[in-house]
C-alpha cells in the first residue's frame, strides 16, 4: 500500500492477523472499549494503557477489543532500542541515491483509521515517547523529521499501550503518563477463567492435564508468584508432547507434568505442584 503526504510517498505496513479470543475479565474489556468511545463531536478517544505482569494476556485483550470494533489492527513491538524514526517513518535505501520512506505500523494505523497496539511500551526510552506526545493529546499528529512531513491521525484511529509490571522497564515521564490514561490493570484470572483460557488455547488438551495445570497456577498465584497462564500453556503443551514421543515407556500424566514444570520453570516451581 502506498499513500502520498505533502508530496512524499509513504509505503504502509500490513495489518496483523492473530487467532486471539479474550476469555474472562469482561470488566477490563468494558473499560478498554469505553476509553476508545467518542461520546460527542467535540470529544476525543483516550489512549489507555494495559498494565500487568508478563503473560496475563494484555496484548490478547487489546487485539480482541480491536476485533470487536471491526478495525484493522497493527501491533508495534517496543524495545529499549526503539528510535523515534522506528515509531514514525523509516528511510530505506532503494537503488542508487534513492530513498523509500516506510511508515511504521503505528503511522499506518493513523492513516487508515485502524487500531495500534504499542506492545511493552515501557521498554522504550523517553526520547522515543517524546516523539509521540502530539499524537497522544488533542493535536493527534506526529512529525517525521527524516521525511519532513506532518502526519495527522484519521478520526477512527485508536491506540493502546501494553506495559509489563516488572523490573526490566523504564519509568514513564509524567507528561507521557498523563497522556496515557486510563490505566487498566490486568490481574491473574480466577480458577474458572484460567481453566477456560487453557481450554481455549489447548482444545486438544486432556482435561486431567488442564485441571492439574490450573491447580498449579492457582496455588502459585495465592503465593504471589509471577507464573502466568502463558507458563501454564507451555507446561501443558510440553507434558503432552512428552507423552506423545515414541519411547519404550510412556510417562504417566503426573510424571510428565512434573517433568514439564521442572524443565519449564525450574525446581523452585515444584513447591506448587498439586499433592493429590
Residue 152 has φ and ψ, to the nearest 5°, of: -95, 145
Q: 85 pLDDT exceeds 90?
A: yes
- N-to-C CA span, the chain: 57
Q: 9 pLDDT exceeds 80?
A: yes
Beta carbons of 128 and 82 less than 8 angstroms apart:
yes
CB atoms within 10 A of CB 97: 6
Q: 103 pLDDT exceeds 70?
A: yes
Q: Which residue's C-alpha cell is 526510552?
A: 125
Q: What is the pLDDT of residue 101?
A: 92
Whole-angstrom distance, CA of residue 34 vs CA of residue 25? 15
Report pTM.
0.88
Residue 50 has φ and ψ, to the nearest 5°, of: -100, 125
Q: Which residue's C-alpha cell is 537503488?
A: 95
Q: What is the pLDDT of residue 19?
A: 80
Residues 153-203 have pLDDT tens digits of 999 999 999 998 876 667 888 999 999 999 999 988 899 999 999 998 999
pLDDT: which is higher, 7 or 25: 7
pLDDT: which is higher, 157 or 7: 157
Residues 31-54 have pLDDT tens digits of 999 999 999 999 999 999 999 988
**2-185 sits in which CATH class?**
alpha beta
Q: What is the pLDDT of residue 1?
A: 87
Whole-angstrom distance, CA of residue 22 vs CA of residue 63? 9
Q: 94 pLDDT exceeds 90?
A: no
Q: What is the pLDDT of residue 25?
A: 81
- The residue extents of the domains of the chain are 2-185, 191-270
Q: Which residue's C-alpha cell is 486471539?
A: 20
Beta strands in 165-209 (DSSP E): 183-185
Q: What is the pLDDT of residue 276?
A: 58
Residues 200-248 have pLDDT tens digits of 899 999 999 999 999 999 999 999 898 999 999 999 999 999 988 866 6
The grid cell for 109 is 494505523
Task: Give me the percent of the chain exceeding a pLDDT of 90.
Answer: 76
* Bridge partner residues of 2 (DSSP): 11
Q: What is the pLDDT of residue 168?
A: 61
Q: What is the pLDDT of residue 75?
A: 97
Amino acid at each position: 500500500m502506498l499513500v502520498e503526504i505533502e508530496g512524499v510517498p509513504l509505503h504502509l505496513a500490513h495489518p496483523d492477523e492473530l487467532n486471539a479470543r479474550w476469555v474472562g475479565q469482561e470488566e477490563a474489556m468494558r473499560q478498554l472499549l469505553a476509553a476508545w468511545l467518542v461520546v460527542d463531536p467535540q470529544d476525543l478517544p483516550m489512549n489507555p494503557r494495559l498494565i500487568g505482569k508478563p503473560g496475563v494476556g494484555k496484548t490478547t485483550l487489546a487485539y480482541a477489543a480491536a476485533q470487536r470494533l471491526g478495525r484493522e489492527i497493527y501491533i508495534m513491538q517496543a524495545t529499549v532500542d526503539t528510535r523515534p524514526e522506528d515509531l514514525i517513518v523509516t528511510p530505506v535505501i532503494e537503488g542508487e541515491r534513492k530513498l523509500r520512506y516506510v511508515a511504521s505500523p503505528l503511522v499506518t494505523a493513523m492513516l487508515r483509521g485502524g487500531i495500534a497496539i504499542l506492545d511493552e511500551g515501557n521498554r522504550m526510552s523517553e526520547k522515543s515517547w517524546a516523539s509521540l506526545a502530539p499524537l497522544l493529546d488533542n493535536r493527534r499528529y506526529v512529525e517525521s523529521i527524516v521525511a519532513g512531513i506532518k502526519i495527522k491521525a484519521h478520526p477512527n484511529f485508536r491506540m493502546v499501550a501494553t506495559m509489563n509490571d516488572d523490573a526490566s522497564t523504564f519509568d514513564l515521564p509524567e507528561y507521557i503518563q498523563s497522556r496515557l490514561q486510563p490505566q487498566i490493570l490486568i490481574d491473574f484470572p480466577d480458577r474458572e477463567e484460567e481453566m477456560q483460557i487453557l481450554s481455549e488455547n489447548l482444545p486438544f488438551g486432556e482435561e486431567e492435564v488442564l485441571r492439574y495445570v490450573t491447580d498449579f497456577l492457582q496455588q502459585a498465584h495465592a503465593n504471589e508468584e509471577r507464573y502466568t497462564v502463558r507458563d501454564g500453556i507451555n507446561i501443558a503443551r510440553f507434558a503432552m508432547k512428552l507423552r506423545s514421543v515414541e519411547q519404550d515407556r510412556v510417562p504417566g500424566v503426573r510424571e510428565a507434568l512434573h517433568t514439564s514444570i521442572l524443565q519449564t520453570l525450574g525446581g523452585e516451581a515444584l513447591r506448587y505442584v498439586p499433592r493429590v
